[in-house]
């Protein structure tokens, strides 16, 4: 009598990001009329942990198996196909076989309880999350808005407060009296100097005639 099993789902689908660990489950069902023992094998034992990786199942019953993905060192390129596979090997066994003893007794079981039944599962990378993230980032990237260029009048209005608001005419009007007073003072000083010279000459002439 051979073992008959069904495994679902038919593939192990991993979602991005693939550098993170993830846990997936598969269900192994015993479709035969007697007890079976099974063992799970993988082509990438360093990347996956399987719990339980070996056990027994009674007729018509099923068992959930956890597949724990350890995560990759770096993200694969979008569209990369995963080459990892799983193989569930089943064979008939005695009803009193302990589930925890299957791994240790497996070499003997394959010799005495064969033939075996194999069910293959492949691992698939699902890049939907990565694609969605890229699309979301692209939609959020917008061209930065340029600052509005001020017109000539607006520029003048912005600069004007920094310059004195006194008109040129008023500036001239304020500056003119000061200039006039300066010129008058200079003229008066010149006249006094001339008068002083004349007085000195007169005094000199008078002194000369008297002597």
- Cα–Cα distance for residue pair 22/100, rounded to 1 Å: 25
- Cα–Cα distance for residue pair 65/25, rounded to 1 Å: 5
The whole-number pLDDT of residue 138 equals 65
- Cα–Cα distance for residue pair 59/197, rounded to 1 Å: 146
The whole-number pLDDT of residue 156 equals 43
Instruction: Determine how many CB atoms are found less than 10 A away from the CB of residue 113.
Output: 19
Measured in degrees and rounded to the nearest 5, phi and psi for residue 11 equal -150, 155
The whole-number pLDDT of residue 143 equals 56
Q: Assess contact for 83 and 124: CB atoms under 8 A.
A: no
CA-CA-CA-CA dihedral for 45, 50, 55, 60, to nearest 10: -120
The whole-number pLDDT of residue 2 equals 84
Dihedral-angle region of residue 178 (phi above 0 means left; psi in -120 to 50 means alpha; beta otherwise): alpha
The whole-number pLDDT of residue 132 equals 67
Range 105-108, long-range pairs (CB < 8 A, 24+ positions): 106/37, 106/39, 106/54
- Of 43, 67, 64, 45, nearest to 55 by C-alpha is 64
The whole-number pLDDT of residue 202 equals 79
Fold of 5-135: Immunoglobulin-like (2.60.40)
The whole-number pLDDT of residue 175 equals 46
Measured in degrees and rounded to the nearest 5, phi and psi for residue 96 equal -90, 5
The whole-number pLDDT of residue 209 equals 64
The whole-number pLDDT of residue 162 equals 46
Mean pLDDT by 10 residues, the chain (211 residues): 92 96 98 97 98 98 98 95 98 97 96 92 91 65 58 48 48 52 69 78 70 57
**pTM to 2 decimals?**
0.62
The whole-number pLDDT of residue 35 equals 97
- Cα–Cα distance for residue pair 58/25, rounded to 1 Å: 19
Domain boundaries, the chain: 5-135, 167-210
């Amino acid at each position: 009598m051979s073992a008959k099993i069904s495994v679902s789902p038919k593939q192990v689908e991993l979602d991005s990001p693939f550098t993170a660990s993830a846990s997936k489950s598969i269900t192994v069902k015993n479709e035969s009329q007697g007890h079976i023992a099974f063992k799970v094998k993988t082509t990438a034992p360093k990347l996956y942990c399987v719990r339980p990786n070996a056990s027994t199942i009674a007729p018509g019953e099923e068992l959930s198996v956890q597949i724990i993905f350890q995560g990759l060192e770096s993200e694969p390129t979008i569209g990369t196909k995963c080459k990892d596979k799983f193989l569930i090997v089943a064979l008939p066994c005695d009803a009193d076989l302990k589930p925890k003893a299957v791994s240790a007794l497996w070499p003997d079981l394959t010799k005495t309880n064969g033939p075996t039944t194999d069910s293959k599962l492949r691992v698939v990378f699902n890049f939907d999350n990565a694609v969605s993230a890229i699309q979301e980032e692209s939609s959020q990237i917008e061209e930065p808005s340029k600052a509005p260029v001020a017109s000539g009048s607006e520029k003048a209005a912005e600069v004007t407060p920094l310059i004195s608001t006194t008109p040129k005419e008023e500036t001239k009007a304020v500056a003119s009296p000061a200039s006039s007073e300066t010129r008058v003072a200079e003229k008066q000083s010149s006249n006094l100097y001339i008068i002083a010279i004349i007085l000195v000459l007169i005094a000199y002439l008078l002194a000369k005639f008297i002597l």
